[in-house]
Amino acid sequence: MEGITISSASIKDVATLQTIGRQTFFETFAPSNTEEDMKKYLDENFTVEKIMGELHNPGSHFFIAWEDSGAIGYLKVNEGNAQTELQDEYSLEIERIYVLSAFHGKKVGQILYEKALEIANAEHKQSIWLGVWEENPRAIKFYEKNGFVAFDKHIFKMGEDEQTDIMMRKTL
């Protein structure tokens, strides 16, 4: 998509990451979850302190998608011990590809995914993996289109609700 640029995020971008994270998570998951569970998750996972901690982790990397001067999405990838589960030195985890709903269908997610692929190839990783909610068919289809296959499941705690994520991997 023309006009979209990707930049590496830093501490100065914490408010942008917080805003996009909260908004995209709410847009995507609020219709399928209780108000209480959504509030609890957003309040615990998108605090300035939590995002600052993630930004300070040397194994985690954030990239923001911009259109003109406005942030429209972001990517978070993890390697080594920063990975949420596998912690395989030969793999890169895509923890988040978040795109504002107004930009769905405009290839922003694809551009962010390609940034993750670029990082994985530059780091000579053997695979990329991620977890995706089993009730998010749009995301599952996106990852399947990009060559990911399911290999396991895990529990994702959404407030007080335990939900199942499909773990998917792409061999490079």
Residues catalogued as catalytic: 143
Classified as helix, coil or strand, 21 is helix
Classified as helix, coil or strand, 103 is helix
Can you give the length of the chain in residues?
172
Which residue(s) pair with 98 in the sheet?
Answer: 74
Q: Is 167 exposed, middle or buried (0-12, 13-18, 19+ CB in 10 A)?
A: middle
**Rounded (5°) CA angle 106-109-110:** 85
